[in-house]
Amino acid sequence: MRTAFSELVGIDVPVVQAPLGPWNTVELAAAVSNAGALGSLATNLRSAETVRDEMRRLRAATDRPFADNHTLRPFDEDAFAATLEEAPRVVSFALGHRRKLVEQAHAAGALFVQQVHTVAQAEQAGSAAS
C-alpha cells in the first residue's frame, strides 16, 4: 500500500514503529525498517554518545529509512544535537514539540514527524510545520 507519506519517507508501507520509550532496541528498529516500514529509535534517557552509537549501529543494520525520536519531557539538547549530526531521514517527537526544533531538523535535511493523540495536537503540530 503506497501513500504520499510512504513515498515522501521512502518506505514501502505507511507503518511507523512506535519508539517505545527507553525500551526499544536497534535490532527492532532495523527489523521494522528492513521489512519496509519506518523503524524508530527512542532517545529519551540516553546520552548523546549512546544516541550516536545506536544510530550508527542501526545504519549498519539497514540501508532503509528510520526515525530518531525525542520527547520534551525529558528533553536532552546534547542527544538532539547528536541526532542531527547523524542525519536520520526522519526526526520524530512525542510529548510536544518546539518550532525551533522542527526548524533545526529541517535545516539538517530531516523530515519531521509529530506524534499526536488529539485533533487539537494535530492542528498545533501542523501550524508548527508551516
Set out the domains of the chain in order of their start, with CATH numbers: 15-129 (3.20.20.70)
**Average pLDDT score over the chain:** 91
Whether the per-residue pLDDT at 53 is higher than 90: the answer is yes
- How far, in Å, CA of 62 to CA of 78, rounded? 25
The mean pLDDT of 34-49, rounded to a whole number, is 95
Backbone φ/ψ region at 93: left (φ over 0), alpha (ψ -120 to 50), beta: beta
What does the pLDDT look like over 55-110, one tens digit per residue? 999 999 999 999 999 988 888 999 999 999 999 999 999 877 688 999 999 999 99
Which of 47, 27, 48, 37 minimizes the C-alpha distance to 90? 37
User: In the chain, what percentage of residues exceed pLDDT 70?
Assistant: 97
This prediction has a pTM of 0.90
Q: All 3 cell numbers of residue 6?
A: 510512504
pLDDT for 125 beyond 70? yes
